[in-house]
Each structure stands twice: as C-alpha cells, then as structure tokens.
Structure 1
Amino acid sequence: MSIATLKTAEIFKKIPHLWIPSFDEIAERRAIAEKYGVDVKRVDGKNLVHIMSQKCYSLNGSNVRDWCVIDPK
C-alpha cells in the first residue's frame, strides 16, 4: 500500500458516515405517507410529521414514548 492510500484511509476513518436512502426506500416511504395521509413539512432543514402527542406509546419494553399516532391530513 502506498503512503497516499494510507493517508486517504486515515482521512475516511475520521469523516462521519453519511447514510442516503435508496430510491426504492424513498418510494416506499412516499407510498406510506400518501396511503395514511401524513402531513409532512420541512422546517429549518428538518423533516417534521404531524402527530397526536397525547397518543404516544413505548414499544418493546422501552420507557421512551416515541411511537405516536399520526394525525392524518
């Protein structure tokens, strides 16, 4: 391995990994949003979905109530 290759490998180890969904995943998410009439907005670079905050539940024995009923359009 050359010195340049080693330096490149070191640089990539320090860069955070970026995950980009596939076109199939994007299409699947869009289909679900359209099926359930989810209200999605983009604010300050963040994707937001309208939920019913009084109807949130924890799953799989967790104490975090982060699964909420959507508030359809």
Structure 2
Amino acid sequence: MSHADVQRAGDLPAKVDLTEGETYGWCACGRSSKQPFCDGSHQGTGLDPVVFVARKTETVFLCQCKQTGTPPLCDGSHSQ
C-alpha cells in the first residue's frame, strides 16, 4: 500500500490528553473507527500503527489527515 492509499480520517487534528508512561497506538492508515487511535482496521493494508509512550502528561494534537511529517503529531499538513 502506498502513502496515496492512506485514508484521510479528518481535516483537523484531534486534541488528546496523554498520560505520562501510557502506551498509545496512533492510526496511520485512516481506517480506524477510534480515531486518532488504532482499532486494528489496518490489517492487510501493509501499514502499522505508530506505537508510542507518552513522555509526560500533556495535551497534544494528533494528526488525522495522515499526511504529517511528524507522526503522530500534527504538523499542519492538513492545511496544504
């Protein structure tokens, strides 16, 4: 699957509260019904979620257009 086959899940980033030390799986394919997080819908796509551990408790903006250059964080790509 190419980057062009990724589904856009939204036009704006998702504001998310992360908890320090918790593990998260950001949906990279755009198919998850639990955006911006993975629900396993990527199976068979050749794409895997971006798994990360929150370094601190904070509010972040996670990409939903799936075009970010800084996954899972939004870099403004949705506005281009």
TM-score range, shorter chain: under 0.3
Kindly name which structure, 1 or 2, has the bigger radius of gyration based on alpha carbons: 1
Higher relative contact order structure (alpha carbons within 8 Å, sequence separation ≥ 6): 2
| Structure ranking higher in helix proportion | 1
Taking structure 1 as the reference length, the TM-score comes to 0.20
Taking structure 2 as the reference length, the TM-score comes to 0.19
